[in-house]
C-alpha cells in the first residue's frame, strides 16, 4: 500500500493529503471490521461529507501529507481524534484530499473481543459519537443543526439490528447511514 501512496504523490504533486480507505472498495473486506467501530466511523464520515468532504473512511490510519500542508494545518490534537481535526482544518484551507482504497486488516479480532460484551461495545460507541461530534462542533465553532442523541439513535438502530457480522452488508449500511445524515443536516 505504501508504494501506491508514493506513486500517487509523485504523479499528483498538487494533492495535499492522501488518505487510505478500508471502505472504498467492498472487495477489500477479507476480514470484517468491528461493528461498533464501523458504525461510529460511518456516522462521523457521513457528517464530515455534509460539510464538504467526499470520503468513505474518516479514521483510516494510512495517510500521506504534503509537508507544507500538514504544517499549515497547525494540528493540536494528539490522539485518535486527530483525523477529525485534519479533515475540518483541510476543509477550511481548501486542501484537496485523494482517497485510495486499502485492505481491511484486523489482527486477532476474536482474541480481543472474546471478553467484550455487546453492551460495552454499544456504550463505548455512543460515547465516541458524542466526543467526536463535540470536537467537530468545536473545530467549526458552531453547533450542528441536529442534536447528538439523533446520531446516537442511528448508531443504536444499526448496532441492535445486526447480530451476525458475517451477514453485514457494509456498503448498503454505509449508504443508508450517509443518506439519513444528508437528510438531517442538508435537506
Reported as a single tens digit per residue, the pLDDT across 93-124 is 999 888 988 877 665 555 455 545 555 666 78
Angle between the N-to-C axes of helices 82-93 and 118-140, in degrees from 0 to 180, rounded to the nearest 10 = 30
Residue 73 has a pLDDT of 95
Check whether 83 has a pLDDT greater than 90.
Answer: yes
Residue 173 has a pLDDT of 83
pLDDT more than 90, % of the chain: 31
More reliable by pLDDT, 110 or 90: 90
| CB 75, CB 86: distance < 8 Å | yes
Residue 108 has a pLDDT of 52
Q: Is 144 helix (H, G, I), strand (E, B) or coil?
A: coil
Per the structure block, which three cell numbers stand in for 10? 509523485
Query: Rounded to an integer, what distance in angstroms lies between the CA atom of residue 159 and that of residue 143?
Result: 25
Query: Rounded to an integer, what distance in angstroms lies between the CA atom of residue 177 and that of residue 129?
Result: 14
Q: What is the pLDDT of residues 31-66, one digit of tens each?
A: 566 778 888 999 999 999 999 999 999 999 888 888
What is the chain's mean pLDDT, rounded? 82
Residue 167 has a pLDDT of 65
Residue 5 has a pLDDT of 78
Total-model pTM: 0.84
Residue 107 has a pLDDT of 58
Q: What is the pLDDT of residues 126-178, one digit of tens each?
A: 888 999 999 999 999 999 888 888 888 888 887 777 665 556 677 788 888 89
Check whether 74 has a pLDDT greater than 90.
Answer: yes
Residue 76 has a pLDDT of 95
Q: Pairing relation of β-strands 97-101 and 63-65?
A: unpaired
pLDDT more than 70, % of the chain: 81
CA 137 to chain centroid: 16
Query: Helices in the chain by DSSP H: which ranges?
Result: 2-11, 35-50, 67-72, 82-93, 109-113, 118-140, 148-161, 170-185
Residue 29 has a pLDDT of 52
Query: Rounded to an integer, what distance in angstroms lies between the CA atom of residue 134 and that of residue 115?
Result: 30
Amino acid at each position: 500500500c505504501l508504494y501506491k501512496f508514493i506513486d500517487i504523490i509523485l504523479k499528483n504533486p498538487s494533492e495535499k493529503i492522501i488518505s487510505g480507505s478500508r471502505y472504498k472498495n467492498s472487495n477489500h473486506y477479507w476480514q470484517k471490521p468491528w461493528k461498533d467501530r464501523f458504525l461510529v466511523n460511518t456516522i462521523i464520515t457521513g457528517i464530515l461529507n455534509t460539510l464538504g468532504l467526499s470520503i468513505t473512511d474518516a479514521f483510516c490510519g494510512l495517510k500521506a501529507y504534503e509537508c507544507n500542508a500538514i504544517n499549515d494545518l497547525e494540528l493540536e490534537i494528539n490522539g485518535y481524534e486527530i483525523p477529525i481535526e485534519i479533515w475540518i482544518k483541510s476543509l477550511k484551507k481548501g486542501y484537496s484530499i485523494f482517497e485510495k482504497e486499502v485492505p481491511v486488516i484486523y489482527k486477532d479480532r476474536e482474541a480481543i473481543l472474546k471478553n467484550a460484551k455487546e453492551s460495552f461495545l454499544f456504550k463505548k460507541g455512543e460515547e465516541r459519537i458524542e466526543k467526536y461530534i463535540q470536537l467537530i462542533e468545536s473545530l467549526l465553532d458552531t453547533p450542528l443543526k441536529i442534536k447528538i442523541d439523533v446520531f446516537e439513535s442511528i448508531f443504536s438502530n444499526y448496532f441492535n439490528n445486526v447480530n451476525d457480522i458475517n451477514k453485514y452488508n457494509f456498503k448498503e449500511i454505509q449508504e443508508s447511514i450517509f443518506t439519513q445524515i444528508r437528510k438531517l443536516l442538508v435537506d
